[in-house]
A and B are shown apart, each in its own frame.
Chain A
Amino acid sequence: MIIAGLAFYLFAIIAVAAAVMVITARNPVHSVLWLILVFFNAAGLFLLLQAEFLAMTLVVVYVGAVAVLFLFVVMMLDLNTQVLREGLAEYVPLGAVIGLILLVEIATVGGSWLLSPEMEQVRGAVARTDITNTQALGNLIYTDYVYLFQAAGLVLLVAMIGSIMLTHRVRPGVKKQKVAEQLARGRTVEVKKVPTRGGI
């Protein structure tokens, strides 16, 4: 039990410290790397809650896919932090006001947060030990919330089609390998005499 407690504080402290580094690091690539450290520690916290499936999913999805794409984009951008910092003084008051408003809002919502008695009971209940939490999660998603799950899938599908439509446009003059055409050609290979500087 002591070790679990120590591990919680270790993960929590590293997560918060790394999160601070994300926004203070000068180099955007370093920021992304700190962000990855935050994800890892969040996964560690999930593990301490005995939600190992969620922990692994967090690593696979966020660290293995999302953060790789972040890193890709950030590395390709030729960012000059000096230029980005210009005019910082102008924006500080406005940013501070917005931040303060958000903080007050969160404080009011959080302060008036109450759990219904039923929720308290559920929270206090012992988790089922006869099935793994992967199975429990599956049961929950695919039986109780199956329509919401399908709806979420449809939203993602729309987003995917949208991004394909935005990037996939027909451009003239692009030479593409058409494998099916090549394979279907059969014995029609011929030798041609090509005139110099003429091409076919």
Chain B
Amino acid sequence: MAELWEGYLWPGIIIVAQIVAIVLPLLVAVAYLTLMERKIIGAMQMRRGPNVVGPWGLLQPLADGVKLFMKETVIPTGASRAVFLMAPMVTFFLALIAWAVIPVNEGWVLSDINVGVMYLFAISSLGVYGIIMAGWASNSRYAFLGAMRSAAQMVSYEVAMGLIIISVLLTVGSLNLSDIVHAQQKSVWFLVIHFPMAIMFFISTLAETNRHPFDLPEAEAELVSGYNVEYSAMTFALFFLGEYANMILMSGITTILFLGGWLPPIDIAPLNWIPGPLWFIIKVVALLFVFVWARAAFPRYRYDQLMRLGWKVFLPASLGWVVLTAAVLQFTGWSPWN
């Protein structure tokens, strides 16, 4: 009995508590990210943004949540029911499970696995399923077109993202996310070493999360709202939450790969008083601000331009950078294996 408790039950309870400690702040962050987006865009367009519900509109996300919760879930005639209901769950589920390997401080990670980067890459390459399943199961032309666009777009930009990650991994010599941050502790942030790639990675994450200026899957003007047009109430809310959780996730990945994770910019007195998790949050919020900024500032790309950028600009450039990184590491002897 004691063995059962020590061996299985107690670790199980600890793991569940850790999961709750990750997921709850994440969901609150997602809710307030929507408010942050509306407030920032409001400010950029010289409006006030939501300011009625609660002080400065701070309770707006709760009101939105309650509204979506009370609405009726409509399943269209001719929809493939099981797939239709599974699609938003898949999207939301994938946006959450990726956080299992994200380290927010020295050792603050649910599962410190050796192949953390591969895990994140696998999860982000699955994100396309929620969308493509939704588009197909809705039995609607608009939804289907949106899903097709989205699938092609996400698959295209994953290639460039993978190659950029490879050049980071070459400089680190490990697939473990904490090791990536430690490597930046020893040298400088990879933003400096891999400067053009960091920008390209961020642009790819915009495309990967279907955000402006690459939000073609839900181009309102042509496709009404794209893959999620047939969804209502909580099924829609799950898509919405999934999309925003993905934005936070992608910002987190960018922070770990290029902005030094929980590390302060330089290790001197006033900066290293701020605890690590706070640095992580500051960096993620700064990146999220750029996400919103891009939405307010740029017009939408045309679809062929999007594909051209992905395949003819990002892919060759990132491939060339992988070769360059490998060559520099080999000939200068800076390779992590020497």
Q: Which of A36, A56, A132, A134 is close to B122, meaning CB atoms less than 8 Å apart?
A: A56
Contact B80 A60 (CB under 8 A): no
Q: If the complex has contacts A30-B83, A68-B132, A177-B305, are A132 and B125 also in contact, measured as CB distance less than 8 A?
A: no
Contact B122 A29 (CB under 8 A): no
Q: Which of A53, A57, A71, A179 is close to B132, meaning CB atoms less than 8 Å apart?
A: A71
B8 interface residue, CB < 8 Å from A? Answer: yes
Within 8 A of A (CB), among B102-145: 113-115, 118-119, 121-122, 125-126, 128-129, 132-133, 136, 144
B151 interface residue, CB < 8 Å from A? Answer: yes
Contact A60 B118 (CB under 8 A): yes
A191 interface residue, CB < 8 Å from B? Answer: no
* A residues in contact with B118, CB < 8 Å: 52-53, 56-57, 60
User: How many whole Å from B201's CB to the nearest CB in chain A?
Assistant: 17
B136 and chain A: residue at smallest CB distance: A75
Contact A60 B121 (CB under 8 A): yes
Contact A53 B80 (CB under 8 A): no
* B residues in contact with A59, CB < 8 Å: 122, 125-126
User: How many whole Å from B111's CB to the nearest CB in chain A?
Assistant: 11
Q: If the complex has contacts A52-B113, A179-B308, are A64 and B126 also in contact, measured as CB distance less than 8 A?
A: yes
Residue tally, chain B, CB below 8 Å to A: 26
Contact B115 A52 (CB under 8 A): yes
A132 and chain B: residue at smallest CB distance: B114
A150 interface residue, CB < 8 Å from B? Answer: no
**What mask results when residues 86 to 108 of chain A are scored 1 for a CB within 8 Å of chain B, else 0?**
00000000000000000000000
B175 interface residue, CB < 8 Å from A? Answer: yes
* A residues in contact with B129, CB < 8 Å: 36, 68
User: How many whole Å from A34's CB to the nearest CB in chain B?
Assistant: 11
* A residues in contact with B83, CB < 8 Å: 29-30, 33
Q: If the complex has contacts A56-B119, A68-B132, A177-B304, are A63 and B125 also in contact, measured as CB distance less than 8 A?
A: yes
Contact A60 B122 (CB under 8 A): yes
- Size band of the interface chain A makes with B: 20 to 34
Bound together, the chains give a CA A39 to CA B160 distance in angstroms of 24
* B residues in contact with A179, CB < 8 Å: 308
Q: Which of A3, A29, A52, A65 is close to B114, meaning CB atoms less than 8 Å apart?
A: A52
User: How many whole Å from A158's CB to the nearest CB in chain B?
Assistant: 19
Bound together, the chains give a CA A33 to CA B175 distance in angstroms of 29
User: How many whole Å from A27's CB to the nearest CB in chain B?
Assistant: 7
Contact A65 B155 (CB under 8 A): yes
* A residues in contact with B305, CB < 8 Å: 177
* A residues in contact with B215, CB < 8 Å: none
User: How many whole Å from A11's CB to the nearest CB in chain B?
Assistant: 16
* A residues in contact with B122, CB < 8 Å: 56, 59-60, 63-64
* B residues in contact with A134, CB < 8 Å: 114-115, 175
7 A-B pairs in the complex with CB atoms less than 8 angstroms apart: A33-B83, A53-B114, A60-B121, A64-B158, A68-B128, A68-B129, A132-B114
Interface set of B (CB-CB < 8 Å, partner A): 8, 80, 83, 113-115, 118-119, 121-122, 125-126, 128-129, 132-133, 136, 144, 148, 151, 155, 158, 175, 304-305, 308
Give me 14 other A-B pairs in contact (C-beta within 8 A), A59-B125, A134-B175, A179-B308 excluded.
A3-B8, A27-B80, A29-B83, A36-B129, A56-B119, A60-B122, A60-B125, A68-B155, A72-B132, A72-B148, A75-B136, A75-B144, A134-B115, A177-B305
